[in-house]
Structure 1
Amino acid sequence: MALDLANYREQARDAIKAFWGNREAAARKQEETGNIDRGARGAVTAGNNLNGFLALMQSLVRANGLHDAQIHIDKGLVVLPGYFRPTKQWDVVVMRGNCLVAALEFKSQVGSYGNNYNNRTEEAIGVAHCLWTAWREGALGDQPRPFLGWLMVVGDEDESRRPIRTAQPHFNVFPEWRDASYIQRYDQLCRRLVKEGLYAAAALLATPLNSAETGAYAEFSPLSGLEYFVTTFAAHIAAEASRPPPPEVTPLVQTHT
């Protein structure tokens, strides 16, 4: 099966350019209006920083033949049922009829690594476990296992690359966590999310703070790289496109938002 990866590296560089450009524009707007958020928060409160990656996923769906898919990115249409909580909003939801083909989550972190790393980690694990349990219990109907993907964009800077001391007051942590930087921790997280089956693919991209013009980014391992993410996603899409449209699915659990 030949896959079309939609010139993903060029699209990813464009997405990184947009990421930094949107952050800079949001910060400038806050300065102009005099409404300054604490620290770098003003660069992220406007949202839409990762829309370039949404566009890449849309390109992969169309390029790999799933022409009857509905690709949802609007807030009201990316809500999926959970098991431990009623619903969760994803960043991209790909539907074919009323069958869930894929759900994707995109996150970023620049600065404040100590404050936010644990939150990002716990959220990534929790939302996947919540959806898989809901799927197992019939909230999505009797449908094949969908594709779940998680992508993380991190600032590539001294703060994210310096070793972090790990507390071990009672038991030793796994060796790979000792003195690991936040980038190394995110790399381990992505690899383990895939190995444990919580996500079909999880990617980490680290981008220097001066990349608004170049779109530069770094990857750290094959399993957490962007190529694995887009290849796995494209293969799932192509496989879905090769099947006839699914019959109407009636969820065993009726959910309401």
Structure 2
Amino acid sequence: MTASYEDYNAAVKAFWTGRDLQTEKQIASGKIDAGTRGSATGGKHLEPLQGVIAGEFAPLTRIGATVRQSGVLPLPGYYRRAKEWDIVVTYNDILVAAIECKSQVGSFANNFNNRTEEAIGSAVDLWRAYEAGLVGTIKPWLGFVFVVENAPKSTSVVRDRGKPLYPTDPAFDNSSYTTRYELLFQRLVRERLYDAACLISSVKGDGIYDEPQPEVSTRNLTAAIAGRVAYIEGLA
């Protein structure tokens, strides 16, 4: 099933609803996390988005592939024992695809580096595991989907603290966190750490506000997934 812009837009709206419901549940139970963390720690708010992406791999089920998007989905690592991925698609002994879905709402200064390290580290670890023969003999397909809140603190110029010992890449000068995410995912794809990535900017409570970088957009992700599906169908 090919996903449309409207499918992704509806999933992003549901993402916000899921965050709100998670906060309500924690309030009702008396377990409230600090700041906005309470709406994210339940782990369910990205399921609508995961569902859209998983649906794009659904045609492969006709040839016996398995599309998993819930529960614990660990894949072997090389620098660590295993890493859980949000969507895992397999066909016989082939790891067809592994996709991560993440978001950032508020706390941009505190969490930007963490999200960056997660994205880089997950890919490096799985590619090394593939090279070591731990995830089959067919090259896997990796994807990363990220929703960032469109807010003043994510779109205004970052006031960096401290002067680096050496000159930094000028591309990051006078940039916002959203721009830095654009550069991150664009470079991750160009360096082939991920076969496709998607960066979605969204105002709280709404759908897709912007896809700031066409190279890492829902349209590009959908086309890349279609290519992977066709490749696996060809092997079958």
TM-score, with normalisation over the residues of structure 1?
A: 0.86
In the alignment, structure 1 residue 218 sits paired with structure 2 residue 214: no
CA distance in 1, matches of 2:23, 2:164: 41
Query: Structure 2 matches for 1:28-177, cutoff 5 A?
Result: 28-63=24-59, 67-76=63-72, 78-141=73-136, 143-166=137-160, 167-177=162-172
CA distance in 1, matches of 2:80, 2:29: 38
Residues 97/65 of structure 1: CA separation in 2 closer, same or farther (3 Å cut): closer
Deviation for aligned residue 1:66 = 5.4
- Residue matched to 2:221: 229
- Residue matched to 1:247: none
CA distance in 1, matches of 2:142, 2:128: 13
Higher relative contact order (CA 8 A, sep 6+): 1
Residues 63/138 of structure 1: CA separation in 2 closer, same or farther (3 Å cut): closer
Deviation for aligned residue 1:27 = 1.4
| Gaps in structure 2 of 5+ consecutive residues | none
Deviation for aligned residue 1:184 = 0.5
Contact map agreement 2:61 2:67 (CA 8 A) in 1: no
Per residue, is there more helix in 1 or in 2?
2
- Residue matched to 2:177: 182
TM-score, with normalisation over the residues of structure 2?
A: 0.94
CA distance in 2, matches of 1:243, 1:174: 42
| Gaps in structure 1 of 5+ consecutive residues | 245-257
CA distance in 1, matches of 2:81, 2:42: 27
Residues 33/75 of structure 1: CA separation in 2 closer, same or farther (3 Å cut): closer
Larger Rg: 1
CA distance in 2, matches of 1:108, 1:12: 14
- Residue matched to 2:194: 199
- Residue matched to 2:13: 17
Q: What one-letter code is carried by the residue in structure 2 that aligns with 1:43?
A: S
Alpha-carbon displacement from aligned partner over 1:120-154 (angstroms, at most 9, x marks no partner):
1011111111111111111123x221110011101
Deviation for aligned residue 1:45 = 1.8
CA distance in 2, matches of 1:200, 1:103: 10
CA distance in 2, matches of 1:9, 1:237: 19
Q: What one-letter code is carried by the residue in structure 2 that aligns with 1:95?
A: T
Q: What one-letter code is carried by the residue in structure 2 that aligns with 1:226?
A: T
Deviation for aligned residue 1:21 = 0.4
Q: What one-letter code is carried by the residue in structure 2 that aligns with 1:58?
A: A
Deviation for aligned residue 1:73 = 2.1
Taking only the aligned residue pairs, the percentage that are identical comes to 37
Contact map agreement 1:66 1:237 (CA 8 A) in 2: no
CA distance in 2, matches of 1:10, 1:35: 35
